[in-house]
Amino acid sequence: MDIAAQMLDIAKSARAASRRLAAAEGSARQQALLNLAGLLSAGAQAIFAANKKDVDAAAKRGLDQAKLDRLTITQGVLDSMVQGCREVAAMSDPVGEIEGMKKRPNGMLVGRMRVPLGVVSMIFESRPNAVVDAAVLCIKSGNATILRGGSEAFESIKALVTLIHQALEAAGLPAGCVQVPPTTAREAVSALLKLDEYIDVVIPRGGEGLIRAVVEQATMPVLKHYKGVCHTFVDESADLQRAVEIVLNAKAQRPGTCNSLECLLVHRAVAAKLLPMAAQRLAAAGVRFKCCPESLPLMVPDAGGAAEAAAPGDFGHEFLALTLAVKVVADLDEAQEHIARHGSNHTECILTANHDNAMRFSREVDASMVGVNCSTRLNDGGELGLGAEIGISTSKLHAYGPMGLLELTSAKFVVLGQGQIRQ
């Protein structure tokens, strides 16, 4: 069987499984997630062994450190997967929920019922734990899913999907609800992206190149973000000691993620005091700086040679590494102007004690998450109370920001009548 025919069979099977899953009792879907939490904990050693094969092979091929970081399943990553299963299992079931039932003048009742999207395909790079995030959210929201990871995570994905299938079957649900193509051939992705008759939406997670390739080929809707160029603006009223700690977390806690800080904007009134403090703390964590002319002399003394003049392309660049662009701005207006020009609609934060500035920034800055006095790293489904996320969308149709259970459903109109007809 050729790859196109193989992908067609997978898509047809997922479509059939999606109908069974959507019709299943919410308790069965919940039990599948609890089963998976237990299996992940019990199968930790097998998961680590499979992941080590992937990481070792990727290191030999010269995969960069940011991608190796995303590829690695640590105990902490596994614990987060287990916690995500349990948190999503405990959430209210969105499927079948009716919103806003209203009575019309003719007596009929009109409401909207939450329904699964159908079949969701996720195409991703490096992060094998994304398999569990996606499967958990799709199972709970009644969606079948087709998961196509990168070849670098093939062994890890196989180990995780084996446990997912066991969890589904133990709950009386079809294993076909979660499918993984058995090949790493790139033709498989191209074939899947043509199957809009069976796949309702595709969600790419990975580098900008992958996402643009999916957008160009897909015949079904794509929920996406191209990159995460995240800014933090330190206002003149900010608590500077706290600002340094927030910026350190946003940049250095896990620099290879899409919600890590890429550009620090500082109000001119506090730049001379804040920037040497920030340079000292961040340089000690290995951060290097790309500085505007005004910020450069303020960073060099304490950065130990880690600061250099920014090139034109450094502003608006997603480094995904311990590199931070730094710019001094005159005020909130200039900060927002810079974000509008160089941002990617992902995550933007302001550090301020001025309520009016905080509210204005929140209203006017266009991003999937806007934060006040917090780290950009908080733009994450788990951190925002979604339990897990299947991706972060920086487009506004049909979701904006981390996609959890609600974003994996749509709403159909339900009309309850007593013989009404149209006049």
- pLDDT, tens digit (0-9, with 9 covering 90-100), for 389-406: 898 999 888 899 999 999
The percent of residues in the chain predicted with pLDDT above 70, rounded, is 99
**Confidence grade of residue 66 (pLDDT, cut at 50, 70, 90):** confident
With bands split at pLDDT 50, 70 and 90, how would you rate the model's confidence at 339? very high
What would the mean pLDDT of 348-373 be, rounded to a whole number?
98
The residue type of 327 is K
Residue range 52-59: mean pLDDT, rounded: 95
- Which among 265, 211, 198 has a CA at the least distance from the CA of 236? 265
Tell me the C-alpha distance between 245 and 265, whole Å: 15
- pTM reported for the whole predicted model: 0.88
Local confidence band at 382 (pLDDT 50, 70, 90 cut-offs): confident
Are 201 and 121 a contacting pair, CB within 8 Å?
yes
pLDDT of residue 330: 98
What pLDDT does 178 receive? 97
Residue 135 has a pLDDT of 96
Which band of pLDDT confidence, cut at 50, 70 and 90, is reported for residue 305?
Answer: confident
Taking the C-alpha atoms of residue 158 and residue 54, their distance in angstroms, rounded to an integer, is: 11
Quick one: CA dihedral 43, 384, 199, 28, positive or negative?
Answer: positive
DSSP line for 90-140? HSPP-TT-EEEEEE-TTS-EEEEEEEE-SEEEEEESS-THHHHHHHHHHHH
In this prediction, residue 70 carries a pLDDT of 83
What tens digit of pLDDT does each residue of 274-297 get?
Answer: 999 999 999 999 999 999 999 999
Distances, alpha carbon 108 to alpha carbons 99, 165, 413, 420, in Å: 15, 43, 12, 7
Q: What value does the mean pLDDT of the chain take? A: 95
Instruction: Assess contact for 308 and 290: CB atoms under 8 A.
Output: yes
Count of alpha carbons within 13 angstroms of residue 270, beta-carbon side: 21
Tell me whether residue 215 is exposed, middle or buried, using C-beta atoms within 10 angstroms of its C-beta: 0 to 12, 13 to 18, 19 or more: middle
pLDDT higher than 80, residue 302: no
What is the tens place of the pLDDT at every residue in 102-140? 999 999 999 999 999 999 999 998 789 999 999 999 999
The residue among 32, 19, 41, 17 whose CA lies nearest residue 140 is: 32
Question: What residue type is 158 in one-letter code?
Answer: K
Per-residue pLDDT band for 300 (boundaries 50, 70, 90) equals confident
Highest mean pLDDT among 60-69, 75-84, 368-377: 368-377
Q: Which amino acid is residue 296, in one-letter code?
A: L
- For residues 163 and 124, which has the higher predicted lDDT (pLDDT)? 163
14 — pLDDT class (breaks 50, 70, 90) = very high
Angle at 231 between CA 365 and CA 309, to 5 degrees: 135
Are 306 and 321 spatial neighbours (Cβ–Cβ below 8 Å)? no
pLDDT of 206 reads 83
H helix or E strand, kind and range, residue 351: strand 347-351
Contact 18, 143 (CB under 8 A): yes
Looking at residue 68, what is its pLDDT? 87
- Residue 69's pLDDT band, with cuts at 50, 70 and 90, is confident
- Pair 287, 323: CB distance under 8 Å: yes
Whole-number pLDDT of residue 67:
80
Asked if residue 215 lies in contact with residue 201, where contact means CB atoms within 8 angstroms, the answer is no
Rounded to an integer, the average pLDDT of 182-197 is 94
Q: How far apart are CA 328 and CA 402, in angstroms?
A: 30
Total count of residues recorded for the chain: 423
Q: Whole-angstrom Cα distance, residue 346 to residue 348?
A: 7
Return the DSSP state at 251. H
CB 402 within 8 A of CB 346: no
pLDDT at 243: 98
Q: How far apart are the first and last CA of the chain?
A: 56
Cis peptide before 165 (omega within 30 of 0): no
